[in-house]
Structure 1
Amino acid sequence: MNASAQLDLFAQVASAYAEAKQTTLSNDALYESLMGRMGVSRDVAEKRESVGRAGQRHSLWKRKIRFAQQTLKHLGILERDAQKRGIWSLTEAAGKRLHRAGKGVRLVAFSTDLGVAMFASNNDALAGLDEPISLILTSPPFPLNKPRAYGNPDPKIFVEWLVRTLEPMVKRLAPGGVLVLQTSPDVFVQGSPARSLYQERLLIALNDELGLARLLSMPWVNPSKPPAPTHWALKKRVQLVSGHEYVHILTNDPLKCKADNRRVLEAHSERHKALMAAGGEQREASYGDGAYTLRPGSFGRETSGRIPRNYVEMGHRCADTLAMRKHAASLGLPPHGAMFPTKLPSFLIQYLTEPGDLVFDPFAGSCKTGLAAERLGRRWLMAEVVLEYTRTAAEAFRSFDGFWMSPALACVGETPC
């Protein structure tokens, strides 16, 4: 069974329980329901074939159904009646504890006409994907000494872990495909005010081991960042207060990269508009021993906008973040603790891709990358390993064409499914 068929089977099984009376079914009743839902004849469902060395005969179709049951049990979506053999039901709604996808677990959580969000680990989500990826855009968990609720890799092994995690994905990039990593400089050597060099080691490893060339490392200046690091800047007074993070942009072929700054031009200042209207500069001057020369008429040509500088400046406050926190509260679920503003992936997707390109976020979190891609007409694939974050993110996509949510996901949280 291919990946898409297996995912459809998970959804069909979960739907059968969700729509059953009291969300409980015997295995025989489940088989009957699924035959009708999936258009499977009784002959196919009951056909027995030899399995294993012993050659015992079993229905392969029913074995697939039972495999789906076990997978959904692992996800915390189904539970088996301990007293009655062959009786399964939907579990109670997920609580505050975070539930993570195990190895090999792949479930279509929700989708639109343009994209799919998977409850799965990042590389498991790619199983069965038969087309190249134009852009991998993500914010991986930072190597923090004090992990957050969603988990953070050990700083000592972070570079090796991330390079090995990204390697299969990078191989799926189209020629000229781009990898974008949003990272933090606020990672310190334990017990010291010295900042970790993990970013530098990571960039070198991505070049040496995966053949990725760096286009640029762009500071994301955030004037609304809270004062930090608390200990080294506010108590010991050694460090300065942090005001930025980094966006590293790398590609497997700089000459084939689709980056185009014309897609992200900014509005001209009023002064520059006046200069263009006047026909440009009226003076002549030379600066830096001739490195830069100003001539009459310079900047007089009408243009659509100005090319952005190689940094972005924006606060982290975002209407989508506020909405997602409200959704999490209404569902009785914990909100994601590190959501970047949707404006950031929107800028990067516009700059680095064309409409119709495929964008992938392997650490999707609140699925802000997918939300930006959806609004910009790019196709998208998201992978998130935490069930509660995936459920909350689904609420942001309800208004888009073709929205569908797995009944298994709909049963996560405190609202009735």
Structure 2
Amino acid sequence: MELLEKLPDGSVNLVMTSPPFALLRKKEYGNADQRDYIDWLTQFARIVHRKLTDDGSFVLDLGGAYQKGSPTRSLYNFRIPIRLCDEIGFHLAEDFYWHNPAKLPSPIEWVNKRKIRVKDSVNTIWWFSKTEWPKADITKVLAPYSDRMKKLLVDPAAFYKPKDRPSGHAIGTAFGKDNGGSIPSNMLQIPNTDSNGVYLRGCRSLGEKGHPARYPSKLPEFFIKMLTDPGDVVVDIFAGSNTTGQVAENLGRKWRSFEVRLDYLATSAFRFLDSDVSDAELHAVHAAILAGQTQDLSDQFVAAAAE
């Protein structure tokens, strides 16, 4: 919150973050009790609202939770958009749902043991905006056409005839136009299966566990592409292993990432190293960050980039 306050008002184009969820069991990365969670998160949201540009966005990834001792769902993640819109003045530009097909069955009690609930594999993602007209361009996140659509584009007349559908929608000749891809839906199916890369190799080399709640790079990539332009400022206020910062860097955006735990910050630096970096260099970077020698590292990165 202190770092967020130091940013100039109206200077941030996108805050993309996944805060610790309001789970019943305490996690090692810290999470507030469900009863206090909405108040806790609202403190950050008030500051975010001031820091955003007029056409800026606040994208919030939240997982669901169950009530204590009961196979019924908590409503905390649905109360948050009501609170942020009613009290702070955010607009809910759109609701998204991230389906992670690789997620393990949970909660164990209701799914694995008693077998009375299916596994929870969908997160809610709220896209908030400061005004009703935030910057957005879905042409930057078009999905590849299906094989059937590709065939249709070659010879539209062979696949369909212009007509009105039972729903009342008119399917005209423009349906056969190649727009470069299909419009994505608000259900994002992205498996969270990353097991390689410099980040995890560095963690293993040091005997450190990777951050236990990383989201896949394709998730922030979707929103950064859709809601910002190169050179815009992206901020993650609960950075963890800093997936958001890495993606923003790769896409040519300016970024800032805040993380309260120094050990997570130290290992997150591995994301910005070349794949052929040696274990000795990984250890040196990790030690330098823990020792607060970040300026030396910054100089090294600048020199490497120049080469």
**AA aligned opposite 1:384:** E
Q: Structure 1 residue aligned with 2:210, among 322, 329, 335? A: 335
Instruction: Give the superposition deviation at 1:298.
Output: 4.4
Listed one character per residue, the Cα deviations across residues 101-147 of structure 1 (whole Å, up to 9, x for unaligned) are xxxxxxxxxxxxxxxxxxxxxx2223543361000000000111111
What corresponds to 1:262 in structure 2? 139
Larger fraction in strand: 1
Alpha-carbon distance in structure 1 between the residues aligned to 2:5 and 2:42: 19
Instruction: For residue 215 of structure 1, report the CA deviation from its aligned partner.
Output: 1.6
Cα 1:407/1:226, change in 2 over 3 Å: closer
Q: Which runs of 5+ in 2 are unaligned?
A: 276-284, 298-307
- In 1: Cα distance, 2:262 partner to 2:168 partner: 56
Residues 1:276 and 2:153 aligned together = yes
Residues 268 and 334 (structure 1), Cα distance of their counterparts in 2 relative to 1, 3 Å cut: closer
User: Which of residues 108, 116, 139 is equivalent to 2:18?
Assistant: 139
Is 1:371 aligned with 2:246? yes
CA distance in 1, matches of 2:201, 2:171: 54
AA aligned to 2:73 is R
Provide the residue aligned with 1:303 in structure 2: 179
Q: Which residue of 2 aligns with 1:151?
A: 30
> Equivalents in 1 of 2:120, 2:4: separation in Å?
36
Q: Which amino acid aligns with 1:339?
A: R
1:165 CA displacement: 2.2
Look up the match of 1:52.
none
- Which sits farther off after the overlay, 125-134 or 226-235? 125-134
Structure 1 residues 212, 127: CA separation in 2 closer, same or farther (over 3 Å shift)? closer
One-letter code of the match for 1:243?
S
DSSP-derived class of the 1:268 partner: coil
Report how many residues are paired: 282
| Equivalent in the alignment of 2:258 | 383
Q: Distance in 2 between matches of 1:266 and 1:319?
A: 25
Give the Cα–Cα distance (whole angstroms) in 2 for the partners of residues 251 and 358 of structure 1.
Answer: 15
Q: Normalization by structure 1: what TM-score? A: 0.64
- Relative contact order, CA 8 A, sep 6+: which one is greater? 1
One-letter amino acid of the counterpart of residue 132, structure 1: S
Separation in 2 of the partners of 1:206 and 1:390? 29
Quote the sequence identity (%): 33
Q: What aligned pairs does 1:59-98 form with structure 2 within 5 A after superposition? A: none
CA distance in 2 between counterparts of 1:277 and 1:334 reads 50
**1:203-352 equivalence runs, <5 A:** 203-255=81-133, 257-280=134-157, 282-288=160-166, 291-295=168-172, 297-318=173-194, 323-352=198-227
SS of structure 2 residue aligned to 1:206: helix
Secondary structure of 2:175 counterpart? coil
| Bigger Rg, structure 1 or 2 | 1
1:241-278 CA distance string (max 9 Å, x none)? 222112111101121x1111000111212221221221
User: 1:334 touches 1:388 (CA, 8 Å); kept in 2?
Assistant: no
For the residues of structure 2 that align with 1:286 and 1:329, how far apart are their CA atoms? 58
- Report the AA paired with residue 317 of structure 1: T
RMSD across aligned positions (CA): 2.2
- The verdict on how the C-alpha distance between 1:251 and 1:282 changes in structure 2, with shifts beyond 3 A counting, is same
Match of 1:36 in 2: none
Question: Deviation of residue 236 (structure 1)?
Answer: 2.1
Greater share of helix: 2
The residue number in structure 1 matching 2:53 is 174
Q: Residues 302 and 150 from structure 1, CA distance in 2 versus in 1: closer, same or farther, beyond 3 angstroms?
A: closer
Q: Secondary structure at the match of 1:194?
A: coil
Counterpart position of 2:44: 165
Q: 1:355 aligns with which of 207, 230, 238?
A: 230
**Deviation by residue 1:80-100 (Cα, 9 ceiling, x = unmatched):** xxxxxxxxxxxxxxxxxxxxx
